[in-house]
Structure 1
Amino acid sequence: MLLKSELIKKQRRIPVNEKFLTLEEKGILETIRLQTARWNVNNVTRTKAYLDFFCSYPDIHWAFLGHMVSRNGGWNMTDLKGDIVSKLMNDETKNVFFSFLERGNWLIFQDAFPQFLLYSESVKRNKNLFYLLPYLNVSVFMEVIWEFYWSFQDRYVLAIAQVINEQSYLEHRIIHNPKYKDKVLNSLQFLLQDFLSVNHILFPFYDDKTIALLGQTLQQFDSLHERIMLGKRLYRILFHDREQFEKFFYWAISNPHTGSRKDYWKDVFNDINEGVPGKYTRRLNKCKLKSGEPKLYSPVLKIAWANVKHPKAEVGDWFTHWNVIHYLKQDDQKFNGEIEGDYCDALEKLELAAMAKNLIFK
């Protein structure tokens, strides 16, 4: 197999040194770094950048997958300051959870977006520039994949390879980072959310004039295999049916990402707090508000959290063996992506947990 042989060859890495590049090549790299930094400010700017790129280059499917998943990242961030989840955590825990979500979101963008920009430059010049990827600290795995895509235009292989790459990239920088492993992944709150099945990735779309949801639930966040398989399922939900894809895309371009869950359920969530401070009563019944109850507070990101100045990404290439290409095979697994019922059940369980917080966490 071509990919296997190319990956084996590339494993014998040659150290890179920019002093051997031309002025044009150095200029391309500098522009890419500046553009990436410009958009890598917060979850809202990153999420917008993914969608804008996809609108310009619709063959790069991961850009839309990244956009939709990044929306979920923003909603998880603002949940920490919203009506339900915030009542299960003290301020210190909220800050650690936000740091965990924000760092992961930042890391993926600073790895993925330079690849997109280099692809754009390659298209504009009608020239393969992917030999410059190592200068952007991108894995040799993706260098091989982009060269393969340039020759064969296999959109599925490129998208799933990017799923593999980004989740592998996070493995040691986030998942096995002691800062997060003890305080987030092993914490009681994380286990509680896992138990209540609220690690949902939601993809909203218009079903006639109403909003419907498809998606998937991730139960084992600390499993690289499970995260890659989740990414493959999410890709299938978005792209396996052209008509359904158009519904997702139309919703996305019609509803700019703010970080508030009001973006998709205006009947349930509001970015203005309608509730009584310090008091929470049960408000939901099958994801509909009970008569007379205030909407759930879900703030916009810019109100919930300040921008973060990140330290540089940890160096090092995750790629060690060609066998990861087995994930590139298409799966025959059948699933429908239905998630709305499970998500509504989880919200109601979280409501009960919020109301019983003094019994759980005292």
Structure 2
Amino acid sequence: MEKKKLQEKLVYIKSELLKKQEKIPVNEMFLTLEEKRILQNIRSQTARWNLNNVTRTKAYLDFFCGHPDIHWAFLGHMVSRNGGWNMTDLKGDIVSKLMNDETKNIFFSFLERGNWLIFQDAFPQFLLYSESERRNKNLFYLLPYLNVSVFMQVIWEYYWQFRDRYVLAIAQVINEQSYLEHRIIHNPKYKDKVLNSFQFVLQDFLSVNHILFPFFNENKITLLGQTLHQFDSLHERIMLGKRLYRILFHDNEQYDKFFHWAISNPHTGSRKDYWKNIFNDINEGVPGKYSRRLKECSVKNGQPKLYSPILRNAWKNVKHPEAELVDWYTHWEVIRYLQDDDQEINSDIEGDYCEALEKLELATMAKNIIFK
């Protein structure tokens, strides 16, 4: 990351982070009954919505509708939709045929654990902000009791004072991706069986790690987005988050289209949510057989649509072990990612996505050769 001179607002954030270098141990016994009640309510609400990808994705959007200044809630909603589609791909046509059941299960575990971890870190922050707004009182000193990074405590206090939506949103991108880095990317279970696996390399080679943002374009659904390579690179994931944020929010008219689509199409986990002409949540195909169906992002005449199940029909809810209690934040230099970025972004992804689907279809038909 190029080391430009820090903007004035970032110099302020740096100074606040340096003040918190010595982390003070937290102990709830010193809190008031009212403070304990606030924390218990936040934990209860978070657990209620952290059941599966569909409930999390809905919770993000519901929160954003009530707090449209918290941009990451909408970014999190749209990216979480993509996480759900990736989960159900494992039980639908094409991708599922490139994996055995054991591989499908470990890939789902990887996706589900990451989705669960981000929610149980991000949503308590949202609820504490909402409670602060309701009381017109800064309650962010309670964030350490929710195991939230000291980095985000500084950022929320900065936001409470200056209301800089961009800084808050990108800080949350940094926070959540850094949070995953220590719990998912460097977890030997996922590093060996997912990130280093042939199937993951194949998907990366075929450019199917797409983040898709659908919207209504007259009477047609159009897709914008980005493709992620090098999933195991923290820098690449943060920069992807910055680009995705810009796609969603840099143009008010375009943002309105994304938001209108989101509130008009409840998330089910099926890719039918955005392309009903290609995907169906009912399996129209013949069991055990797969013939080539796609041409130029359309289903050929007489061919069944691609099966893309809803989440509840694909996977059961998972009971997760508690998240590891370690703060990822170690050095203020990370705030350089908060520098304003006005670079032009090519968000036209539909052609690449269609091409990737056709490549995957060919790989599926050649699976007996590929995986011998």
CA distance in 2 between partners of 1:12 and 1:347 (Å): 50
User: Equivalents in 1 of 2:335, 2:297: separation in Å?
Assistant: 41
Residue by residue over 1:322-354, the C-alpha shift from the partner in whole angstroms, topping out at 9 and shown as x without a partner, is 000000011232113100000000000000000
How far residue 11 of structure 1 moved from its aligned partner, in angstroms, is 1.6
Q: Distance in 2 between matches of 1:103 and 1:9?
A: 33
Residues 1:233 and 2:238 are matched in the alignment: no
Question: Structure 2 stretches of 5 or more lacking a match?
Answer: 1-10
1:178, CA displacement in angstroms? 0.2
Helix, strand or coil for the counterpart of 1:81? coil
- State the partner residue of 2:115: 105
Q: 1:34 aligns with which of 41, 44, 47?
A: 44
Structure 2 counterpart of 1:317, from 321, 324, 327 = 327
Matched residue, 1:71? 81
Q: What aligned pairs does 1:60-209 form with structure 2 within 5 A after superposition? A: 60-209=70-219
Matches of 1:171 and 1:358, distance apart in 2 = 35
Of the candidates 5, 23, 41, which is equivalent to residue 13 of structure 1? Answer: 23
Alignment of 1:45-60 (within 5 A): 45-60=55-70
Partner of 2:304: 294
Alpha-carbon distance in structure 2 between the residues aligned to 1:236 and 1:83: 32
Question: How far does the alpha carbon of each residue in 1:233-289 deviate from its partner, in whole angstroms, 9 at most, with x for none?
Answer: 000000000000000000000000000000000000000000010111110111101
Task: Output the CA distance in 1 between the equivalents of 2:17 and 2:209.
Answer: 34
Shift of 1:29: 0.1
- Paired residue type of 2:14: K
Q: Residues of 1 paired with 2:305 and 2:176: CA distance?
A: 36
Secondary structure of 2:335's partner? Answer: helix
1:355 equivalent among 365, 369, 372: 365
Give the structure-1-normalised TM-score. Answer: 1.00
Partners of 2:247 and 2:273 in 1: CA distance: 20
Match of 1:265 in 2: 275
Task: Tell me the SS of whatever aligns to 2:324.
Answer: coil
Q: CA deviation at 1:209?
A: 1.1
How many angstroms apart in 1 are the aligned matches of 2:50 and 2:43? Answer: 10
Partner in structure 2 of residue 211 of structure 1: 221
Q: Post-superposition, which runs of at least 4 consecutive aligned residues in structure 1 deviate over 6 A?
A: none
Percent identical across equivalent pairs? 83
Whole-angstrom CA distance in 2 between matches of 1:64 and 1:10: 30
- Paired with 1:221 and 1:207, the residues of 2 have a C-alpha distance of 30
Q: Note the aligned Cα RMSD (angstroms).
A: 0.4
Equivalent residue number for residue 248 of structure 1: 258
| Partner SS for 1:344 | helix
| Residue in structure 2 matched with residue 329 of structure 1 by the alignment | 339
Q: How many corresponding residue pairs?
A: 362
Q: Distance in 1 between matches of 2:317 and 2:325?
A: 23
In structure 2, distance between residues paired with 1:49 and 1:292: 39
Letter matched to residue 121 of structure 2:
D
Q: Mind listing any 5+ residue stretches in structure 1 that lack a counterpart?
A: none
Task: State the TM-score, normalized to the length of structure 2.
Answer: 0.97
Partner Cα separation in structure 2 for residue 124 and residue 209 of structure 1: 40
Task: Tell me which amino acid in the other structure corresponds to 2:369.
Answer: L
1 CA distance for matches of 2:320 and 2:237? Answer: 24
CA distance in structure 1 between the partners assigned to 2:345 and 2:50 by the alignment = 34
Q: Which amino acid aligns with 1:89?
A: M
* Secondary structure, aligned partner of 2:221: strand
2:3 paired residue number:
none
